[in-house]
A and B are shown apart, each in its own frame.
Chain A
Amino acid sequence: MSTPAVTTPSRWRALTHHHLFWPVAVLIALLLVNVPFTPDFFAIRMTDGHLYGSLVSIVLFGSPLILVAVGMTLVIATGGIDLSVGAVVAITGALTCSYISDQADQNALAGVFLAMGIGLVAAVLCGLWNGFLVARMGIQPIIATLIIMVAGRGVAQLITDGQIITINSEPYKLIGGGYWLTLPFSIFVVAAVVAVTIALTRRTALGLLVESVGGNAEASRLVGIRSMRIKIMVYMFCALCAGIAGLMISSNTSAADGNNAGLWIELDAILAVVIGGTSLLGGRFSIGGTVIGALVIQTLTTTIYTIGVPTQTNLVFKAAVVIVVCLLQSPKFRAKVFGARGRAAAPVTPAAPADAAPKMEVSR
């Protein structure tokens, strides 16, 4: 097959066929929708050595969602799902804050680090439990993770005694609400987690094995992949990401709210993963896509506020946009809607040039 000369249409084609094309297009479109309502939407100002602007806030407020969604991506790639991330967010926040609030000096670094360590260990243990139920006991992921989703909030309540624990710790405030090098610190945390995840999956063979397990579990077993280990690892990693998000959320508000911290974040995270192009059936995954997907959802939330959608219709609006995004991603839908034009545009060149075409013989 000879390679066709790279022409503008084919470059355009290559671009539109890139797996991130539609998520990015939707993100840009959503951002643009804001401009008529907030003319300085794209403006970024420097005040007190801190950068401010809508774009910065989107990333800042979207940080926990990005973290949770990145972890969720790997779980979904193995063919699973993790509904417990919201509860893990709450548990981590509750544990960490309650430990800090017990300290005599809430600003002591050692105490803060220990508190965060305790919170994250608890998160990872939740992940271990999920992984154990799914991989070892063979329970359906949706059921297995439902246990912590429901019970976990209760645990968080127990830790906080049913109260909202507020703390006053400068160092802890940094993670979710502080600034560093003019940018919100959480952006650095997110960047680090995303970079580590990509390195962990693509620099090693982990990504390949995860995709194989999700793409064809039986074939993976017959090829000797230790899928049980891989699944447990992935659930633990997902919970760790949720734990970090939990730190961020509680740090941002300087409070632990067992009831509302990370409420429904699992659904937004699953949505972000799907918008990012990872199939819920498992297999191929894209961390980059998930990050874009999470940004789309955060932008959508922001947009709802800026264009002033009435609160009652808020969710309906969000649902409508999500439906459109999902439809746009479906090749079948695109073929139906844009197909007629696309097909007409593709010239039907005659079958192979004469010299290459084998002689046609007909006998009867």
Chain B
Amino acid sequence: MAEPRPVLEMTGIVKEFPGVRALSGVDFRLFPGEIHALMGENGAGKSTLIKVLTGVHTLDGGTITLDGKTVRIGSPLEAQHAGISTVYQEVNLCPNLSVAENIFIGREPTRGGRIQWKQLRKEAAEMVDRLGLDIDVTAPLSSYPLAVQQLVAIVRSVGHGDSDGQGSGTKVLVLDEPTSSLDRDEVLELFRLMRRLRDEGVAILFVSHFLDQIYEICDRMTVLRNGTLVGEHMVADLDQVGLIELMIGKALDQLEELHEHQLRSDVGETLVKAEGLGRTGGIAPFDLEIKKGEVLGLAGLLGSGRTELARLLFGADQPDSGKVTIAGKQVSMSAPNDAIGAGVAFCSENRKTEGLVPDLTVRENIILALQASRGWTRPIPASQRDELVAKYIKALDIRPANPEARVGQLSGGNQQKVLLARWLITQPKLLILDEPTRGIDIGAKAEIQKLVVSLSEDGMSVLYIAAELEEVLRLSHTIGVLRDRKLVAQLTNGPEITTSKILETIASGEHQ
């Protein structure tokens, strides 16, 4: 294949943070009309490379060439003007503005200095439509789940070059883990769009920890490890095993182990019982029982009410009907405190707004839940605290393994691990995990799934939510199926339950 000139070339890129060299001399190039995967473990430097490219971080060394010209990109706005559109890993839109405003923020259609609201809303609706999304663009962004917010961020970045022909002239589209909380259908929709843009000559940089997605959509990939470049390959030339080896730097043998892992077969007596629990606008009243040591997985499409169900069981939202009994005692569920007191823990899907305190250190974030339950007058003794924190940093392989590091400076996947650690140290009776493996690399993902299995063996009940059906199916004793904000079925896992069976149940919305 005769190679055209790359539209983007980054050479010898160096980026240092105090105490951490995030990128040491990385080369990266991007050709027009290709989808290029940037691969690497959590903390390898993918997001940092992207942020250097888009002017979020200033680079400490190296050059960036765009269209053959050396450029200095000082800010995300300059990047946008230079034709680089970006969806960052953490959704950074304005939650209190409407979807339409978010899509157009900074480039509202104006006439004589006045914003044309009607036109703005109409165009926004069209753009959202084109992605196959059924949402009200006048509603505030915060009224939608994270996955929709992620889609809005995508619409915002791709929509423009797309709608007005060459309009904003997007040459490079950067997508940092855009699919981390999307369901299959939205992913397909996104891929359709990406292919179209590629065919129009846009160069696309794509980051994802789902290897299947990489092999489905990408043409070429660049692999990073510990801030250094390990190689650039055509996707067709490198198989998954080889790719994983490149990413982690050693041969991988235990990834398949989980498949043979037997779920604990005998679950205990009932731990949590919800009767007629519901909330208007959230989820229709449902009955649910979770037994001691049971893993209950929730399956359903985007917006089917999985997160809403979990939030009711934690008191994060107040139910307006029904009651919850935990270990035989009725719990009021008027605030998270009540649930926490009864031994429930909730790992939110939205680590940025509902999970971590970015300014605090890894250590402080990890002990926060435990400390809150002890009250402010009884600090956890320093030695015990440090021991606990060190134990979980090691168990979850949080990198850098520095309890003093600010959580906001960790890579996305490592932040997710901190959130998990926070709740694990409280040793809850029921652990609610809403998308716990979001943004986590393939090795760590297997580790976390193994952890869930072993927690259940030790008698902890787990409510597990994941967009990936296979993941739910592999781990759960029982699978609750949701559709249109209703719990429509509870299937006992067994050989006859397959992903297609679950999909059928979702589609028909009936008890079978």
> A residues bordering B, Cβ < 8 Å?
1, 17, 203-206, 208-209, 211-212, 215-216, 218-226, 230, 283-284, 335, 343, 346, 348, 350-352, 357-364
> B residues bordering A, Cβ < 8 Å?
1, 3, 12, 14, 16, 18-21, 24-26, 58, 60-61, 220, 225, 228-234, 237-238, 249, 314, 316, 335-337, 340, 346, 348, 353-360, 364, 368-369, 371-380, 400, 422
Q: A224, B355: Cβ atoms under 8 Å?
A: no
Q: A360, B231: Cβ atoms under 8 Å?
A: yes
Q: A208, B231: Cβ atoms under 8 Å?
A: no
Measured between beta carbons, the chain B residues less than 8 angstroms from A224 are 336-337, 340, 369, 372-373
Q: A358, B249: Cβ atoms under 8 Å?
A: yes
Q: A230, B376: Cβ atoms under 8 Å?
A: yes
| Alpha-carbon distance between A224 and B373 when the two chains are bound, in angstroms | 7
Query: Can you offer 6 A-B residue contacts whose CB atoms are under 8 A?
Result: A215-B360, A216-B353, A219-B354, A221-B336, A351-B24, A364-B237
- Tell me the minimal C-beta distance from B372 to chain A in angstroms: 4
Q: A216, B376: Cβ atoms under 8 Å?
A: no
Measured between beta carbons, the chain A residues less than 8 angstroms from B3 are 364
| Alpha-carbon distance between A352 and B25 when the two chains are bound, in angstroms | 8
- Tell me the minimal C-beta distance from A212 to chain B in angstroms: 5
Q: Which of A215, A335, A359 has the most CB of B within 10 A?
A: A215
| Closest 9 pairs between A and B when the two form their complex, measured CB to CB | A351-B25, A348-B61, A351-B24, A215-B357, A361-B231, A224-B340, A283-B359, A205-B379, A224-B372
| Alpha-carbon distance between A218 and B355 when the two chains are bound, in angstroms | 8
Q: Which of A209, A211, A219, A352 has the most CB of B within 10 A?
A: A219
Q: Which of A204, A358, A364 has the most CB of B within 10 A?
A: A358
Q: A211, B359: Cβ atoms under 8 Å?
A: yes
Measured between beta carbons, the chain B residues less than 8 angstroms from A209 are 371-372, 376
Once A204-B377, A348-B60, A363-B237 are accepted as A-B contacts, the answer to whether A211 and B357 lie under 8 Å apart by CB is yes
Task: Give the contacting residue for B337; candidates A208, A226, A351; CB below 8 A.
Answer: A226
Measured between beta carbons, the chain A residues less than 8 angstroms from B225 are 358
Measured between beta carbons, the chain A residues less than 8 angstroms from B379 are 203-205, 208
Shortest Cβ distance from B364 into A: residue: A208
Task: Give the contacting residue for A351; candidates B14, B316, B346, B400; CB below 8 A.
Answer: B14
Instruction: For the A-B complex with A218-B353, A224-B336, A363-B238 known, give 13 more contacts whose Cβ atoms are closer than 8 Å.
Output: A1-B21, A205-B380, A211-B360, A220-B368, A223-B336, A284-B359, A335-B58, A343-B58, A351-B25, A360-B231, A362-B231, A364-B220, A364-B237
Measured between beta carbons, the chain A residues less than 8 angstroms from B60 are 343, 346, 348
Measured between beta carbons, the chain A residues less than 8 angstroms from B220 are 364
Q: A208, B14: Cβ atoms under 8 Å?
A: no
Q: B316, A360: Cβ atoms under 8 Å?
A: no
Measured between beta carbons, the chain B residues less than 8 angstroms from A223 are 336, 368-369, 372, 422
- Tell me the minimal C-beta distance from A257 to chain B in angstroms: 38
| Alpha-carbon distance between A219 and B249 when the two chains are bound, in angstroms | 36
Task: Give the contacting residue for A283; candidates B229, B232, B357, B377; CB below 8 A.
Answer: B357
| Alpha-carbon distance between A362 and B360 when the two chains are bound, in angstroms | 41
Q: B360, A212: Cβ atoms under 8 Å?
A: yes
Measured between beta carbons, the chain A residues less than 8 angstroms from B233 are 361-364
Shortest Cβ distance from A1 into B: residue: B20
| Alpha-carbon distance between A208 and B370 when the two chains are bound, in angstroms | 12
Q: A208, B368: Cβ atoms under 8 Å?
A: yes
Measured between beta carbons, the chain B residues less than 8 angstroms from A212 are 357, 360, 364, 368
Shortest Cβ distance from A230 into B: residue: B376
Task: Give the contacting residue for B354; candidates A222, A284, A346, A363; CB below 8 A.
Answer: A222
Measured between beta carbons, the chain B residues less than 8 angstroms from A350 are 25
Measured between beta carbons, the chain B residues less than 8 angstroms from A221 are 335-336
Measured between beta carbons, the chain B residues less than 8 angstroms from A361 are 230-231, 233
Q: B357, A1: Cβ atoms under 8 Å?
A: no
- Tell me the minimal C-beta distance from A255 to chain B in angstroms: 39
- Tell me the minimal C-beta distance from B506 to chain A in angstroms: 28
Measured between beta carbons, the chain A residues less than 8 angstroms from B380 are 205
| Alpha-carbon distance between A225 and B422 when the two chains are bound, in angstroms | 14
Shortest Cβ distance from B62 into A: residue: A348
Shortest Cβ distance from A216 into B: residue: B357
Measured between beta carbons, the chain B residues less than 8 angstroms from A346 are 16, 60
| Alpha-carbon distance between A361 and B232 when the two chains are bound, in angstroms | 7
Shortest Cβ distance from A362 into B: residue: B232
| Alpha-carbon distance between A362 and B21 when the two chains are bound, in angstroms | 24
Measured between beta carbons, the chain A residues less than 8 angstroms from B20 are 1
- Tell me the minimal C-beta distance from A318 to chain B in angstroms: 30
Measured between beta carbons, the chain B residues less than 8 angstroms from A220 are 357, 368, 372
| Alpha-carbon distance between A350 and B62 when the two chains are bound, in angstroms | 11
Once A209-B371, A357-B228, A362-B231 are accepted as A-B contacts, the answer to whether A222 and B348 lie under 8 Å apart by CB is yes
Once A1-B19, A224-B372 are accepted as A-B contacts, the answer to whether A219 and B231 lie under 8 Å apart by CB is no
| Alpha-carbon distance between A151 and B12 when the two chains are bound, in angstroms | 63
| Alpha-carbon distance between A357 and B16 when the two chains are bound, in angstroms | 17
Q: B359, A222: Cβ atoms under 8 Å?
A: no
Measured between beta carbons, the chain A residues less than 8 angstroms from B422 are 223
Measured between beta carbons, the chain B residues less than 8 angstroms from A343 are 58, 60
Measured between beta carbons, the chain B residues less than 8 angstroms from A215 are 357-360
Shortest Cβ distance from A206 into B: residue: B376
- Tell me the minimal C-beta distance from B129 to chain A in angstroms: 31
Once A206-B376, A219-B355, A224-B369 are accepted as A-B contacts, the answer to whether A352 and B228 lie under 8 Å apart by CB is yes
Measured between beta carbons, the chain B residues less than 8 angstroms from A208 are 360, 364, 368, 371, 379
Measured between beta carbons, the chain A residues less than 8 angstroms from B356 are 216, 219
| Alpha-carbon distance between A215 and B356 when the two chains are bound, in angstroms | 9
Measured between beta carbons, the chain B residues less than 8 angstroms from A348 are 14, 60-61
| Alpha-carbon distance between A364 and B31 when the two chains are bound, in angstroms | 13
Shortest Cβ distance from B21 into A: residue: A1
